[in-house]
Amino acid sequence: MSHFIRNCIYQGKNLFREGSYTFWVILYPIILATFFYAAFGGMMDPSFEDLKVGVEENSGITHVLEEIDFINIYEVSKDELVQKFENDEIDAFVDDNLNLTVNKSGINQTIIKEVVEQIKQTIKLNRPIDGSEFSVSYVLGRDQESNSLTVIFYSLIAMVSTYGVFAGVETASLIQANLSNIAIRINSTPLKKQNFLIAGVMVSLLLNLFANAALLLFINYILKIHLFNNIKYSTIIILLGNLFGVILGIFIGVSNKKSSTKTLMAIAITLLLSFFSGMMGPWIKVMIDKHVPFLSRVNPISIMSNNLYRINFLGSTKSLGEGVIILIGYCIMLLFASYLFLRRKSYDSI
Amino acid sequence: MKEMIVKVKNVVKRYSEKLALDHFNMEVKEGEILGLLGPNGCGKTTAINCILSLLNFDKGEIQLFGQKMTPNSYDIKRQIGLVPQEVSVFENLTVRENIDYFCGLYVDDKNTRRRYVDEAIEFVGLKDYVKYYPKKLSGGLKRRLNIACGIVHKPKLIFLDEPTVAVDAQSRNFILEGIRKLNQEGSTIIYTTHYLEEAEMLCSRIIIMDNGKDLVSGTTEELKAMITTSEKIVVSFLSLEDEMIDSMHKIPHVVDIEKKGEDLIIKFENGNNNLSNLISFITEHKLTYRKLYSQLPTLNDVFLELTGRELRD
Ligand SMILES: Nc1ncnc2c1ncn2[C@@H]1O[C@H](COP(=O)(O)OP(=O)(O)OP(=O)(O)O)[C@@H](O)[C@H]1O
Ligand SMILES: [Mg+2]
């Protein structure tokens, strides 16, 4: 046990003191977050969460609308209506027959209109009415532009949760005698290869989780963007992302010979996957969802960012199960593929 | 009788096309300092890596401490120290941390470990650099760290792969002295080098290697006794005609005469009175010489006679 801890401490020190590692894993995500905030911050729709809808007193529609997170309900009598509109105390008024009254057109009015339309349809189809369903299908269906920033940040978090990839690459090269000089020395000692690797994976996970926490705190307290409502499921996704990243790193590490290309490869892979998941602007995600929806179902970073978005923003866990299974599947596949390289203990050439 | 610690029998190692070890043999007894001497590319490092099971080999047998060596022979590995040819340390651990890390892979007890680490630092003279990162060390100091990491646990058997390459003369003597001390404290040493004097000074026995083969093995004296040249006399004449060189061949025991600049190197095979025979010849022919001295053959002569090539530093 103490051997294991010693290995963790020394491998941790060796990783943490590596300038490029600290940069990519800790500083780079924070820089990106700041950059996105500055570049896309205007797209955030601040009033989205509190649409003010007027209803009649004791209206039958109240209980449906109440369940929709982003709608605040005000009881308004028809006489007060004009004045309330003028004072901007309500964005729209819905009567018992689901007739919508607005006095101007804007994004808030559009949203309310769509919600009301959906309620009407549900009633027509004779399905039970459940408020949360509307918000889910509504937000999924509408043009994503107004919550670009949220999508971008979920993608960013998904990406950096896989940044254990760098530590994975490093750990792999430290133990493969055909990859580094130091591995020759380590393999001549009585230290078992698997023990070194397990310690390396643990340390990589820990350091990366630490880096993730730093980023989340930065986003939450400095940029003041609140992304998490469901901590439990979000944590599961982020943990899985970490595991995926480290194992991907080990795989890249053991399956390639030259070391300078490996870090580049890790950066390229994670960046590309993040790009497709909408990190550089949601249009790419919208396009992929439209033309090759399969891609965003299998892109691990899309899986993570979509689920973070759905869990926290929409309160939906519908696709969580599938996502978790696919991610675990990737981990197992990569682990097995890495094992094929790792189990070799002496080499034809070093 | 001293125990045989290393046994390498007829090992063949091929890198795709290149034959790196060609039925290589080596035996090392406990307490020896064995020198593996040979030119660049003769297969010294390959031999060590095969012995340590880091490399696969195509044929042959390798035993360490009387057991077959495999990648999983952790009990054997526990008794071994390796100083690889390339500096192999953690870039982001300090001198002391590096030494302590490797020591900890063998030594569990904290106090023993601290003592061993201190001794290793003392041993390689890195006391003033314990807090340095390897990249801040000069090439020679890095090599010393490389040595410290390989010997800190006081192993029974130590492989040193050209530890003094790129090290200044002073550091080199320091290192050689240290290796002798390790040997006196009970470690068996396998030392690869292409420096003749180093092998001659340090090693109790030498294996001369070329093209992946072990050519000969023995103490320096034994090796020198194997070749026909047993004495070389270097003379520098003021002037000398070529016919005179021809008649010199008639001096008893002369095997070869070589002209090197001003100097004439006359090689003798076993025999007595070579020097006085030569001087008689000189007096008889009234030759004038500027200098004249006798030299015993060097390992270079041994290598030259075995391979037809010189092994120079
Ligand atoms: N990984 C490899 N792939 C192919 N050929 C190799 C490899 N490693 C070494 N060789 C070749 O095998 C031969 C023996 O190499 P080795 O490194 O064992 O020599 P060496 O005696 O240690 O030389 P040096 O004194 O330069 O360290 C050389 O011809 C070398 O070019
Ligand atoms: Mg070598």
From the alpha carbon of B46, which atom of ligand 1 is closest?
18
For residue B305, give both structure tokens: 């006679």
Structure-token pair, residue B115:
């003592």
Residues comprising chain B, all counted: 313
Q: What ligand has the least distance to the C-alpha of B40?
A: 1
Q: What is the C-alpha separation between A71 and A67, in angstroms, rounded?
A: 8
> Which stretches within chain A are classed as H helix?
2-16, 19-22, 28-40, 62-66, 81-86, 107-124, 131-141, 148-161, 164-175, 181-188, 193-217, 231-255, 259-276, 282-291, 293-298, 300-309, 320-342
The answer to whether residues A97 and A188 belong to one domain is no
User: Are residues A295 and A159 part of one domain?
Assistant: yes
Q: Which of A5, A7, A22, A346 to mutate to test the interface with B (most CBs of B within 10 A)?
A: A346
Residue whose CA is closest, atom 2 of ligand 1? A349
Smallest-distance ligand from the CA of B50: 1
Judgement on whether residues A39 and A100 belong to the same structural domain of the protein: no
Q: Round to whole Å and give the CA distance between B232 and B274.
A: 9
Element (H, E) at A33: helix A28-40
Do A186 and A63 lie in a common domain? no
> What pLDDT is recorded for position A138?
47
* Interface predicted TM-score of the whole assembly (ipTM), two decimals: 0.86
CATH number at residue A102: 3.40.190.10
Interface touch B88/A181, C-beta < 8 Å? yes
Distance CA A288, CA A284 (A): 6
> What's residue A299's pLDDT?
92
Q: Does A101 share its domain with A209? A: no
Q: Is residue A140 part of a domain?
A: no
Q: CB under 6 Å to ligand 1: residues?
A: A 349-350; B 15, 18, 20, 38, 40-46, 85, 162, 194
Q: What is the pLDDT of residue B1?
A: 59
Q: What is the DSSP string of B121-137?
A: HHHHT-GGGTT--GGGS
Q: Does A39 lie in the same domain as A155?
A: yes
Residue of B nearest to A187 (CA): B54
Say if residue A236 is in the same domain as residue A129: no
DSSP class of residue A177 equals T
- Closest atom of ligand 1 to B18 CA is 5
**Closest-CA residue to B82 (of A181, A172, A174):** A181
Series of mean pLDDT values for 10-residue runs along chain B (313 residues): 87 93 95 94 95 94 94 95 96 97 95 96 93 93 94 96 86 89 95 90 93 91 82 86 85 86 86 86 88 85 81 62
Quick one: pLDDT at residue A95?
Answer: 84
Closest residue in B to A7 (Cα–Cα): B101
Under 8 Å CB pairs connecting chains A and B tally to 85
CB contact under 8 A, B55 and A348: yes
Closest CA to A114 of A53, A56, A45: A53
Residues A102 and A185 in one domain: no
Which among B58, B90, B93, B114 is the top mutation candidate for probing chain A, defined by the most A β-carbons within 10 Å of its own β-carbon? B90
d(CA B19, CA A158): 50
Give me the pLDDT at residue B94, please: 97
The answer to whether residue A332 is domain-embedded is: yes
Whether residue A349 is contained in a domain is answered as no
Q: Does residue A239 form part of some domain? A: yes
What global pTM score does this model have?
0.80
State percent of chain A over pLDDT 90: 34
**Claim to verify: residue A178 and residue A308 sit in the same structural domain:** yes
At A220, the amino acid letter reads N
Give CA–CA dist B250/B244, Å, rounded: 10
For residue A235, is it within any domain? yes
| Number of residues assigned to chain A | 350
Contact check, Cβ <8 Å, A348/B92:
no
Question: Would you call B216 helix, strand, or coil by DSSP?
Answer: strand
End-of-domain residue from the set A83, A99, A134: A134
Q: What is the DSSP letter of B3?
A: P
| Beta carbons of B53 and A346 less than 8 Å apart | yes
In one-letter notation, the amino acid at residue B183 is N
pLDDT score at A141: 41
Give the structural domain span for A214: 2-43+147-343
Q: Which atom of ligand 1 is nearest to the CA of B212?
A: 14
Domains of chain B, with CATH numbers? Answer: 4-224 (3.40.50.300), 231-296 (3.30.70.980)
- Among A301, A237, A309, A242, smallest CA distance to A272 is for A301
**Is residue A142 assigned to a domain?**
no
